[in-house]
Amino acid sequence: MIKRPVDIVVISDVHLGTVGCHALELLQYLNSIDPKIIILNGDFVDVWNFKKYYWPEAHMMVLRTLLTMMTNGTDIYYLTGNHDEVLRKVSSLQLGPLFIRDKLVLELNGEKVWIFHGDIFDITMKHSKWIAKIGSQGYEMLILLNRVINRLSVKMGKGKISLSKKIKESVKKAVKFIDDFETTAMEIAIDQSYQYVICGHIHQPKIRGFENEKGSVIYMNSGDWVENLTALEYNEGEWNMFKYREEDFVDRKRPEKLIRNKTKTEVTIK
């Protein structure tokens, strides 16, 4: 297979070790690209919901694939999230091409990009972590139920649905939380003179611009590999949103370009 060259790939919320993780699809994606840098932006391994008896071979193959990529020259930055917060105890660790950090600032062609998971904006994480953990377990059960329903739906000739998406879209508080999350990230990024801010955490893939009286910024969220199966890609001076589709790995197409500025890529890591 001829691999597609990419300068930077941002992946978040894979949740390895849970039934909701789409490890096989992620493997197909990883085996289709040749990135210089991979940024795992939090919740890559789900320590909260990890069970000793559940670790499929596909989940191990994801780790092996990343190790092979590092051997072949790819730098990997593991940014900590809330589900893998135990790694925050070693968030300055470097093991060869593997870097563990809480956040990352890149300078791409003179523009600063601020990258972090985003759970610092979640009030349930700050004050009632046990509520967040209970909610996480409920979310995993909902994903499992959703898979059973979708199997039946496909057999009946109907399309797949996402129960969690429908719930999020129907609950006004959830919609407001997502909007507040994005607005907070963008306003802080402008205050800190960043041109881009990249988060994960809320499982909502998005690229959007924002402007206030102090300046402007582009907000990006890499989504997840539980529901949306998305990643951010930076190549030839452009940010793209990759969306996994099974048919693309039969006749793969280039992801739709979303942001301008084709120039030679110059990366500085701070």
Tell me if 62 sits within 8 A of 30, measured CB to CB.
yes
**Full residue range of the structural domain in which residue 196 is found:** 4-269
Given a cut of 50, whether residue 264 has pLDDT beyond it is: no
Tokens of 165: 């998406």
d(CA 114, CA 198): 6
**What pLDDT shows up at residue 12?**
97
Indicate the average pLDDT of the chain. 82
Number of domains forming the structure of the chain: 1
Q: In what order do the strands lie in the sheet with 103-108?
A: 206-212, 215-221, 196-199, 111-116, 103-108, 267-269
**What pLDDT shows up at residue 28?**
97
Mean pLDDT over 192-209 rounds to 95
Q: Check which CATH number belongs to the domain holding 107 and give it.
A: 3.60.21.10
> Within a 10 A sphere around the Cβ of 183, how many other Cβ atoms?
14
SS3 (DSSP) at 91 = coil
Q: Which residues of 53-67 are buried (b: 16+ CB within 10 A; e: fewer)?
A: eeeeeebebbeeebe
Q: Is 18 exposed, middle or buried (0-12, 13-18, 19+ CB in 10 A)?
A: buried
| CA dist 4 → 7, 35, 235, 247 (Å) | 10, 8, 10, 17
**What pLDDT shows up at residue 168?**
52
d(CA 101, CA 32): 26
Chain segment 129-143, per-residue pLDDT in tens: 433 444 445 555 656
pTM summary value: 0.78
Cβ neighbours of residue 146 under 8 Å, at least 6 residues apart? 161, 162, 163, 164
Of the candidates 15, 20, 79, the one whose C-alpha atom is nearest the C-alpha of residue 48 is: 15
**What pLDDT shows up at residue 175?**
58
SS3 (DSSP) at 206 = strand
Top-confidence residue, 253 or 189 = 189
Mean pLDDT over 170-178 rounds to 59
229 sits in the region (left: phi over 0; alpha: psi -120 to 50; else beta) called: left
d(CA 106, CA 115): 8
Residue 94, strand partner residues? 99
- Find the range with the poorest average confidence among 77-81, 120-124, 177-181: 120-124
**What pLDDT shows up at residue 27?**
97
